[in-house]
């Protein structure tokens, strides 16, 4: 009788924990919690990987493997005092859209949607006429994290938009970008010299090319770089012996509406972080229409090579292919 009563209590607690006002509060590998001083966060977790999602900006605060955060989290953010660091997401074009603090750093409504998955929804932004929905899914094994951003045109007019990710990782690392043959850029990348000048014949001793790759050993002379590569992935070696890999779709037949037609930007200042920024194509949305863009992340243990010359590109390519194997279901 005692054991039956205990079972009933456990079942009752489970129901209370999982369902409240028709909102899922927990699922396998997902729960709501307070983290880094931030209220109403959602944790996605498997045996090796932990992801903390925050409602402030609908972003990723922590993307951990074996307890080590791949992302750069500012002191202010880590103490719950506010900020906008770690895994941020955005929309563009950056010189065309008006400022949109509601979408950038406003409070998103977070909800657990199932096993190791969650969704964050922004408010309706009058400045741009858009609302954003972000869906996060962590694989059952390994570090694979999938992020899908959907932009909805809530205005009464046709608007343009594009996806723009703005992920902060730890600085002083090495960026590796595979480039593609048919580039509009003579040196496969451009440098933003200042706010209004784009240099299409850049020279920088921190930026090198070999065997179909551009390697950025930062920080470079100017922090902002742009690429039009259609390879759809990049890797970043960190001094804490982690390798961060991003993958995203590219669309050779679609226009890209950033100033230099970018599919990827890197912002690499002389500081504690480096920003990795996959960019999506132009979307022209009529009232009520929506567009989605999906990005995939992986992190792996990898000894820091020390400098760009020491990066073994064949080994890196093999490792990336193993991580991003499409046969591995999320």
Question: pLDDT, tens digit, for every residue of 122-173?
Answer: 999 999 999 999 999 999 999 999 999 999 999 999 999 999 999 999 999 9
43-68 confidence digits (pLDDT tens):
999 999 999 999 999 999 999 999 99
Domain CATH number, residue 170: 2.70.98.10
Scored b (16 or more CB within 10 A) or e, 297-325 reads bbbbebebbeebeebeeeebbebbeebbe
Residue 52: inside a domain: yes
pTM of the model: 0.92
- Which of helix, strand or coil describes residue 317? helix
Residue 223: inside a domain: yes
Residue 19: inside a domain: no
**What is the length of the chain?**
330
Q: Are 50 and 62 in contact (CB under 8 A)?
A: yes
Domain that holds residue 187: 27-323
**CA dist., res. 108 & res. 38, Å (int):** 13
Averaged over 22-27, what is the pLDDT?
76
**CA dist., res. 121 & res. 123, Å (int):** 7
Averaged over 240-256, what is the pLDDT?
97
Reported confidence tier of residue 267, pLDDT bands at 50, 70, 90: very high
Reported confidence tier of residue 16, pLDDT bands at 50, 70, 90: very low
Residue 3: the pLDDT is: 52
Reported confidence tier of residue 24, pLDDT bands at 50, 70, 90: confident
Averaged over 101-129, what is the pLDDT?
98
Nearest to 120 by CA among 155, 148, 87: 148
Nearest to 243 by CA among 150, 313, 174: 174
Q: Are 279 and 164 in contact (CB under 8 A)?
A: yes
pLDDT exceeds 80 at position 10: no
Residue 131: inside a domain: yes
271-310 confidence digits (pLDDT tens):
999 999 999 999 999 999 999 999 999 999 999 999 999 9
Which residues on adjacent β-strands are paired with residue 245? 235, 298
Q: How many domains does the chain have?
A: 1
Residue 9: inside a domain: no
Residue recorded with tokens 């694989």: 139
Residue 326: the pLDDT is: 79
- Which of helix, strand or coil describes residue 10? helix
Residue 12: inside a domain: no
Q: Are 308 and 248 in contact (CB under 8 A)?
A: no
Residue 237: inside a domain: yes
Q: Are 125 and 189 in contact (CB under 8 A)?
A: no
pLDDT exceeds 80 at position 40: yes
Residue 219: is the preceding peptide bond cis (ω within 30°)?
yes
Averaged over 79-90, what is the pLDDT?
94
Count each helix (H run) and each strand (E run) in the chain, helices first: 4, 26
Residue 290: the pLDDT is: 98
pLDDT exceeds 70 at position 319: yes
Reported confidence tier of residue 254, pLDDT bands at 50, 70, 90: very high
Residue 11: the pLDDT is: 44
191-211 confidence digits (pLDDT tens):
999 878 999 999 999 999 999
Task: Provide, rounded to the nearest whole percent, the portion of the chain with pLDDT above 70.
Answer: 92
β-pair type (159-170, 273-278) = antiparallel
Nearest to 243 by CA among 302, 155, 310: 302
**CA dist., res. 199 & res. 138, Å (int):** 39
Residue 13: the pLDDT is: 47
Query: φ and ψ at 248, to 5 degrees?
Result: -155, 160
Residue 5: the pLDDT is: 52
């Amino acid at each position: 009788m005692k054991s039956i009563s205990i079972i009933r209590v456990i079942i009752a607690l489970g129901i209370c924990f999982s369902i409240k006002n028709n909102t899922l509060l927990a699922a396998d590998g997902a729960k709501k919690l307070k983290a880094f001083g931030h209220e109403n966060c959602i944790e996605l977790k498997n045996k090796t990987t932990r992801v903390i999602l925050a409602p402030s900006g609908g972003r990723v605060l922590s993307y951990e493997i074996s307890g080590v955060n791949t992302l750069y989290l500012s002191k202010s953010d880590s103490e719950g005092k506010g900020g906008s660091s770690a895994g941020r997401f955005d929309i563009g074009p950056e010189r065309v859209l008006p400022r949109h603090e509601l979408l950038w750093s406003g409070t998103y409504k977070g909800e657990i949607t199932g096993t190791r998955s969650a969704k964050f929804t922004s408010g309706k932004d009058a400045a741009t006429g858009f609302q954003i929905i972000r869906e996060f899914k962590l694989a059952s094994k390994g570090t694979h994290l999938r992020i899908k951003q959907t932009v909805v045109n809530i205005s009464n007019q046709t608007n343009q938009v594009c996806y723009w990710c703005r992920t902060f990782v730890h600085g002083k690392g090495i960026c590796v970008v595979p480039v593609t043959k048919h580039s509009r850029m003579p040196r496969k990348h451009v440098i933003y010299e200042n706010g209004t000048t784009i240099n299409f014949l850049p020279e920088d001793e921190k930026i090198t090319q070999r065997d179909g790759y551009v390697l950025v050993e930062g920080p470079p002379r100017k922090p902002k770089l742009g690429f039009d590569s259609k390879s759809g992935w990049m890797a970043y070696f960190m001094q804490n012996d982690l390798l961060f890999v991003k993958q995203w779709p590219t669309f050779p037949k679609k226009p890209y509406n950033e100033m230099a037609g970018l599919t990827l930007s890197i912002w690499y200042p002389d500081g504690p972080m480096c920003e990795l920024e996959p960019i999506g194509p132009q979307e022209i949305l009529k009232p009520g229409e929506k567009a989605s863009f999906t990005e995939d992340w992986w992190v792996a243990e990898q000894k820091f090579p020390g400098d760009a010359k020491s990066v073994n590109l064949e080994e890196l390519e093999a490792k990336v292919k193993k991580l991003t194997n499409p046969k591995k279901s999320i």
